[in-house]
Structure formats: C-alpha cells, structure tokens
Amino acid sequence: MPGLYIGLMSGTSMDGIDAALVELATAPALRELVHQPFPPQLRDELLALNTPGTNELHRAAQAANALSLAYAAIVNTLLAQSGAVATDIAAVGCHGQTVRHQPQGGYTTQLVNGALLAELTGIPVVCDFRSRDIAAGGEGAPLVPAFHQAVFASPQCARAVVNIGGIANISFLPVNGEVSGFDCGPGNALMDGWISMHRDQPYDGSGAWAASGRILPELVERLLAHPFFKRQPPKSTGRETFNLQWVSGTLSGHERAEDVQATLCELTAAGIARALDVHCTDTTEVYVCGGGARNDALLKRLAALLPGRRIDVTDRLGIAAEAVEAAAFAWLAARALAGETGNLPRVTGARGPRVLGAIYPA
C-alpha cells in the first residue's frame, strides 16, 4: 500500500471534481489538492441523468466519456502542480459520478469509463467501488467510514465525522466498540438547487443567503416527517429521495425564497443533529468535512442544536475538509490493489467484508 495515490471525487452536489494526491505510509498524508468545476453543459447532463429520460443508455455512455476526459485533465493538472509524473502514481481511485442509487433494486450507477481514464493518464485506475458491497446485500454507501476510522479516530474520546456533500453522512468513531456510519439526510443538494433556481448561483457560499432568511419551524417539521429520517441504519439515500420536487410539494407557495433557504439549511442541520442524538449518543467531538464545512450558517446551526459538543472542521485533524472524500478513494484504491477489504458491514449492511473496486491496468 505505501506510495503515491490519486483520489478523484465528484459528489452528489455536482459542483465539480476534487483531485487529491495522497501519500500512504504510516498514515495517509495529503500532498496536493485541486478542484475543477464541471463545464456547464456536462453538469446539466449529469443532473438530467438523475431522472428518467429519452435515450438514457447512449447519453449516459457519452457523459461517462466526457467525465473521464475531465478526470484525466484534472489528473494532469494535479501532477503538474505537485511535480509528480504518472509513473510515480500507484493508482487513481475514482468514485465516478452517481446518477442513480437504488440499492433496494440491487444496483447503483456511478458514471466513469475506467478503461478510458487509464488509457488517457497511463495510470492504473480503480473505480466502481460500490457494486461489490451491494452484491453482498449492502447499501453500497457510505464507504468513507473505514477511512475516517483509519485517520480520525481517537483513543481518548468518541468522535463523529460528518461529511456534508450533496447528501450528509455520519461516521461514528467510538473509543471502544465498532465504527458505525450512515447517510442521515440531505446535505447541500437542496440548498444548492434552491439558490440556483432563485438567484442563478451554484451554491450559497458561506450561507449568507440562508442567514438572511427566517427559519420556518412548521416547514422544518413537515420536511423532517419524511420516512427516511425514521429509518434505522444501515441506510443511504440520494437525489432520488431528496430533491426540489419533494420540497415544492411541502410549500404553500407564499413563502419568501430566503426563508425557504434558511429552512433548508435548518433541515440539514436538524437531520444531522437528530441522528447524532439517537445513534451516536457518546459523541463529544464532531468534525465536519465536505463543501458544507465552509457554510458558516450551517455550522452555526449545528453548534446551536448540539450544545456541549465540540464542532470543528477536519482541517484541525490534518486533512482539509474539501479533500477528505477524494483522499478516501485514494486509500480505497490502495486497499483494492493490495486485496484488502474496504467496506464495513455494520455500516453498509453487507453480509461481510469485501474487496471493493474494479481495476483497469495502465
């Protein structure tokens, strides 16, 4: 496993690609991080592929190819900025772009052409990490808790790592006992979609627009009444469940747009806080990663809803919040090459530990 690996992550928020150069030795160390926004046309197509449409097989294959070209471009940028060359890299771990997540139907779809990416970069590629877990009866997600355990666990106190991408998920790292983890509800996806619709902005930055609005308590409770919040882990979710069509069905039509944004921010915070209170009762420290870690309004609400617990970002533990997921898939790629398991059955519900990922040699 020791060596240099690249992790590529483009998550449910669909804001672009994160590429992390990670050195694996005694502990994973981030060497370089690059972010590249999606070209608008590609982002629009990826969003469209989240819902049924015409000629989907052809469109999905073409989008996977276009996405792989973008992945290859950011790998080259990462290598140039770090001073590394392709032969220095043991493997690229690429999550791919989720467009359908249907574990109850026995499948999940993350678009990427692994063969093309290996051909373009000259580096072995590991991708399709989720399918083996689903084949073993699991949810296929979340997969990052094993990495969180490896790099963020403490022998002194119980920690929770909360990844807030498009969807929010929690890894609970107790001092003693098994690690657990699960998706807990929407992260940034609803807030991003709402501000895009009303202000033509891709996201709410530090949460300034949400902070300008008023939380609507009755709307929060209507949203939190969704059955997903009451499901017991293991559980995972995606845009199929939490989307603006669902939000619109709960609105009267008379709400101010900024108040809905404030309420969607509260929904994310409340979903996380309630999940921690129910399933991670011993938690004393909460570390946030993902794009939501930079949303000041969201972190303020988390602190208010979780009194007595330390709320911070994973930067304090040595890995920048934006880099954690990409670094996790670099680590999972290394485990795949070594023939080591990458899932945690207690987290995903799989029948047992499995080696994850399909390998495309250079």
**Which residues lie across from 30 on neighbouring strands?**
22
Specify whether 95 is located in the same domain as 75. Answer: yes
Total domains in the chain come to 2
Specify whether 150 is located in the same domain as 134. Answer: no
* CATH code at position 216: 3.30.420.40
Specify whether 238 is located in the same domain as 303. Answer: yes
Q: What is the pLDDT of residue 183?
A: 97
* pLDDT under 50: residue ranges of the chain: none
Specify whether 227 is located in the same domain as 247. Answer: yes
Mean pLDDT of the chain: 96
Specify whether 240 is located in the same domain as 134. Answer: no
Specify whether 111 is located in the same domain as 243. Answer: no
Q: What is the pLDDT of residue 26?
A: 79
Which whole-number Å values give the CA distances from 212 to 15, 194, 206, 215, in the listed order?
23, 14, 12, 10
Domain containing 344: what range? Answer: 3-140+322-360
Specify whether 248 is located in the same domain as 328. Answer: no
Specify whether 153 is located in the same domain as 115. Answer: no
pTM of the model: 0.93
Q: What is the pLDDT of residue 361?
A: 98
Six-digit token string for 144: 């990052």
Q: For residue range 136-184, what is the model confidence (pLDDT) as tens digits?
A: 999 999 999 999 999 999 999 999 999 999 999 999 999 999 999 999 9
Specify whether 194 is located in the same domain as 294. Answer: yes
Specify whether 307 is located in the same domain as 175. Answer: yes
Q: Are strands 28-36 and 17-24 parallel, antiparallel or unpaired?
A: antiparallel
Specify whether 222 is located in the same domain as 334. Answer: no
Convert 144-196 into a string of H (helix), E (strand) and C (coil): CHHHHHHHHCCCCCCEEEEEECCEEEEEEECCCCCCEEEEEEECCHHHHHHHH
Specify whether 107 is located in the same domain as 154. Answer: no
